Structures are given as structure tokens and as C-alpha cells.
Structure 1
């Protein structure tokens, strides 16, 4: 879909309606906006970072945007076409819980080996803290209302005031076999008990 056509073909529309939770009108509107921001029809990592910087002017979202970009870029081509963009947006904004958990697992499983190591989760959580200057659960629920000007008003819980403490807390809850990594089952079970892991996906809805 990188051929810069001004409108989606009927065939493309039909397929995307099957592949996403968006209707025909929504898909056309998203495509129009996508081409406005990306006239080439392809979204680069640098352009993706710029989008995040608009929403997080008081932090550094570069690293987190890179991790999210890598999940959006499903064919690992180094750029995101409209199909990849809208399919990822569909999952994160309107997908079923199981689909959101699958998507989130890909985000945390940086090397794609099917398990989330302590260090992988730490990298993601560090990127989130660096981006918003708040722990994940506060960022999720407060960012749209406050525009991130709440740092001085929030006292972080003692067991979550650093990325390391946050990740230790998550692993203590999720890593049932205590082997230092989370498989899909452990991640899904733990995420269902800690809503902040899943509600973080709401960050992507509206950032793209």
C-alpha cells in the first residue's frame, strides 16, 4: 500500500474491514490522515518518533516509540504501511482482551524468543518512565487530562518509584515458576490481575 494512491480500492477496503474492527468510513478517514502525514504511503521510524514527541513534550519518548514501531512493523521492513498501521491500531484500541494481550506480549518480548526476560521488561518500563516521568498506571489514567503537567502533584508509591522496583513487583506477581522470565501463559494470567499492563495499550490509541 505504499503506492501513494489517493483512495483505498474497494478490494482493499473489503479486506481491511475483515482484518480490523473499523468500518468503511473510518478506514477511509484513517487512510486520508495517514497519507497527509506520510505522503509516501510509508511511515518511517523517525516520523513515528515525531508523533510521540508531540504527545510527550516533557519527556523523551524516543526509546518507547522505537519498541512500539517494531511491533507495528509486522513484516520488519523498516517502515510501516497503512495496512500494518491500521491493523495494529485496531488491536490496541478495539481488540478483544486476548488479542491485546498477544500484542502487548510482542512489545515486551523484544528479541521475539517467546519469553519476556527481566531485562526486556526493564527496558520497556525504563522507556515508559523516561517518556512520561510517571509510572505506567498513572500515565495511562492521567495523561489526556493533564497533558503531563502533574509531576509535582503526584507522589509515587515507594515500591514503584523506579523502573527497577516496578519490574521487580511485576515479576514477583507474574513469574510463578521463578525462572527469571515470563512465558505467554504467565504474562496473560498476571496481566489480567494487574490492569495497568493491559490499560497501557490505551496510550497507543490517539498517539498514532
Structure 2
């Protein structure tokens, strides 16, 4: 499942080969793949989920916060082919990652969301952008010791083991696995 990408781009119908491929990539049974596909097509009859619809749906889970910025990062991470749409294959793989029990896999996915420029590292400026978006999403106060800047400094002081001012995937995942507070803050679904 890791770095492989679903090649299924069809929206309307899935062949048996498509179902088998998606089942192998996602870990869902063939029956679950078909059920997810049916639900996806009800919400997205075109077989594509665009950013606007994604944000609209996601905002329902956070009615008191400002979800737009955070949704942009989540959407970019799900849209693995950069098409500005999430097709069913991308959707199913994303669901399988966020639904599974392995915290390491969830943290690796969170890392890919935080690595905005996709250079394999999280720099402070990237972490600050994500923290701003998380604070907006949750309606958190951004002042004093609770400011995103202060939180980013605290995170880097704990996780940046080699002091190079950027976090590798290993530093991020290990840091989150060793610190419940950071794991809940940075990847709440990985707890």
C-alpha cells in the first residue's frame, strides 16, 4: 500500500481487475471496495471529487472552525496525481490510510501532508502554515505561549534530532510516537 498509487481512474464502473487492484492496495475486501465505490458515486456522480466539494463536505465536521486552509493541505495530499480532483482510487487509498490501526502509517501520511513542497522534509515555515490551519480549524487562540510560532519551536526542539532546522520523515514519526501530546496535536487520528 505504501508508495504505490492506484491506477484506477474510471468513475462509473469498476472492472473485476480494478476491484482486485484496489483491494490489494487498500487492504479492503472486494465487497468493501464495491460498497465504497457505490457511496463515492452517489456523492460524486462524475467519479471525481473537486476541491470545492471536498472542502464543503469536510467543513461539516468542523462547523465552528475555519476549515478551508486545512482542507487545502488534506486535499493536496489525497490528490496524488496532481489533477485537482480526487478520483475513486485516490479516495479509497486515503480512506484506507486514515482508517487503519497502524499509527506509523498514519504518521507517515501526516508527514506527507506537512511536507508542502514535497522535498522530503518539513521546514519550520511549512509546520507554521499547517499549525495556523490546525488552529483555524479548531478555533484555537493564537496568542502567547499557545501561538503557532511557539508550538513550532517546541516541536522542532523535541523532534529535530540533528538540529538541521528541518524534520525528516523518521524524525517526525519517531518524535510523534514518543510524545503523546505531539501525536495528538499533529496527527490526532494516529492516537
TM-score range, shorter chain: 0.7 to 0.9
Change (3 A) 1:34 1:10: same
Counterpart secondary structure, 1:182 = strand
Count, aligned residues: 180
- Post-superposition offset of 1:9: 2.1
| Farther-moved stretch of structure 1 (107-116 vs 184-193) | 184-193
Q: Could you tell me whether the CA contact under 8 Å between 2:58 and 2:67 is conserved in 1?
A: yes
- The runs of at least 4 aligned residues of structure 1 exceeding 3 Å deviation read 1-4, 195-199
Q: How does 1:130-145 map to 2 (within 5 A)?
A: 130-134=136-140
Give distance in 2, aligned partners of 1:21 and 1:53: 28
Give distance in 1, aligned partners of 2:37 and 2:182: 29
Give distance in 2, aligned partners of 1:196 and 1:9: 44
Q: Which runs of 5+ in 2 are unaligned?
A: 1-7
| Farther-moved stretch of structure 1 (192-201 vs 55-64) | 192-201
Give distance in 2, aligned partners of 1:102 and 1:95: 13
Q: Which residue of 2 aligns with 1:148?
A: none
Give distance in 2, aligned partners of 1:14 and 1:44: 26
Counterpart secondary structure, 1:55 = coil
CA RMSD of aligned residues (A): 2.2
Q: Which residue of 2 aligns with 1:176?
A: 161
Q: Could you tell me whether the CA contact under 8 Å between 1:59 and 1:130 is conserved in 2?
A: yes
Q: Tell me the TM-score normalized by structure 1.
A: 0.79
Residues 1:105 and 2:111 aligned together: yes
